Chain A
Amino acid sequence: MEADVADLTTLPRLLLRNARDLAERPAIREKDRGIWQTWTWLQYHDQVRDFALGLASLGLRRGDRLSVIGDNRPRLYAAQLAVQCLGGVSVAVYQDSIAKELAYVWNHAEVSVIVAEDQEQVDKVVGLRPELSALRVVIYDDPRGMTGYRHDWLKSYQDVQEAGRKFGAEHPGYFEAEIDKGRADDVAIVCYTSGTTGHPKGAMITHANAIGVAEIFCRAEHVVPEDTCLAYLPMAWAGDAVYTLFASLVAGFCTNCPESPETVQRDLRELGPTTVLAPPRIWENMLTGIQVRAADATPLKRHTFNYFRSVAERAEILRSDGKPVPTGLRLATALGEFFVYGPVRDQLGLRQAKWALTGGAPLGPDTFRFFRSIGVNLKQVYGSTETSGLVSLQPDTEANPTSAGRPVPGVEVKIADRGEVLVRGCSVFKGYLKNEDATREVLDAEGWFHTGDAGFIDPRGHLVIIDRAKDVGALADGTPFAPQFIENKLKFSPFIREAVAFGNERPFVAAMVAIDLGTVGNWAERRGLPYTSYTDLSQKAEVRELVAGEIRKCNQTLPEATKIRRFLLLTKDLEADDAEMTRTRKVRRRFVAEKYAAVIDAFYGGGNEVELATTITYEDGRQASIQSRARIEDVEGMPAHV
């Protein structure tokens, strides 16, 4: 550790600092064989060093790109830091991507080394090997099932580290010298944005971006080395990189990797992390889980829960309006804390959470209010891959379900003419990898990043996001129409998993709705309604009636002109594997409009039934076709045609 750690301009230098200053404190944990196994910062440093030197011995050069694929594992995080120590770039990919997507990203980024978690991921690489011209080495973490593989380009993680120790002994000081060569402006990671149109684009995030954003964030949220977080979101998502990899290096807190994707909920409870970041879907699932369990509980428990839930909600509404809470209600909430709120938070693993963040998409106001009312400091954060995951954040005292929070210090936000949100500051990325045209489109000469989101600044100074700017259109009569705004309102219903709204240059708004198999299935079971599959359930008259009711509720909050007049229940959910959505579950609007052209024609042509021939793609790339019929429903009390 002779390297100069005084100027902490790159992530590897932060690692050196932590190994020196926080040597014996936990850096990263993983639950393995049922027990949390810890690496201290010193051990983490050694692991990274050995792996980095191993990569060096394999001929990795500055600027080379290494990709990791798999669930969150300490060794995969270490591999990302290791390549950065050598001046290389880390490219994490979604572990559930289909082969075609992986091949595109790996070829586009000219990845020369892939670190795969296990046999399942190695198999994907082996299948694509002939297409990947830049690929030289594949390294696997979990050796299970790998004995039968004989390729000279396939190596185990241990072997690489072993080679690294040998290389280190032969080249003393090499590791530190390489870290010393790193510059703040070097690219640290490339995050491929899911891209709702066309191919994914690789956003280059520099060390300066990474450290800048993490420092702002840690200061704003008072992150300290004693904090803990659970790393369970995909490593390919910019949010995971920022809030676990970058922030843990900057603040020196401990990252925890769950035992398996299936055990996340239990691991969360065991750990009780002090900081939690989750997309809206997870919060909604948690709430649904609580509601289902409350409904199944004994009458006494159920009534207790419902009573204190309504108490908490009343108090929360008063608090958020800035009104005083009467003494009686305050007493009731104190009792509720003891009997209900505390135990519920404990069950969810949120008991020690100082704050919890939701981001990536809007969260329903009911869900938001529920978590705040039971004492979870839930707040919204807004950011995108190109802004290193952070633009604005809600302060503790100003949390609310509608805004995206205040722009953080060091980041400027302004609203352009068409209502597009522009961002400038340390979080704005360097550009798209090997795609200057796309970069020029979004990054102007003055350094403003054009987010593509339409929004405004409200009187309190909070940023409010409405929709993607390019999706905002107008109905035939000129009424402005923001599809995502309507879709989000629909998705706040627990029964609706996905929705796509149409209406641009059309006489009225119509929507395709995908039901939530879990909640609708549960609803059907409770009423003794038999069903065999998603397709069958979605086309039941009772279910159509249920969803029509939800749409009517949603319509009450919409202006007359943009009320939903017709809808159709899809016979399958929208899937990323079918290219209908991005991996972060954003609708690929243009593709969906093409694929479901028959539905749109029927919406506006007055048809009542549509033949749906949908092709579904399995994770291994196989395809199958499903034929089904779906009915179009007019929402009651609405003229079908204007």
Chain B
Amino acid sequence: MKLNTQPNFTDPDAFYAALTAIHRDLDRDQSERVNARLVLLLANHIGDMEALQEALEVASNLNDSA
């Protein structure tokens, strides 16, 4: 796998808090827009199509409880 699914955050708790914080005062439509922007920014940062494809597959498997 090209996609790194091992822990990689420099500060996981801080990231999670920041992610939820930006949504705190937003309605659903605004949140949807923010999430879309976030996906686009991060996808460009990754860039590599193979890694992105793997992420898309993992993300779209909604029944994956693992």
Q: Do A and B come from one complex?
A: no
Residues of chain B having any CB pair with chain A under 8 Å: none
Residues of chain A having any CB pair with chain B under 8 Å: none
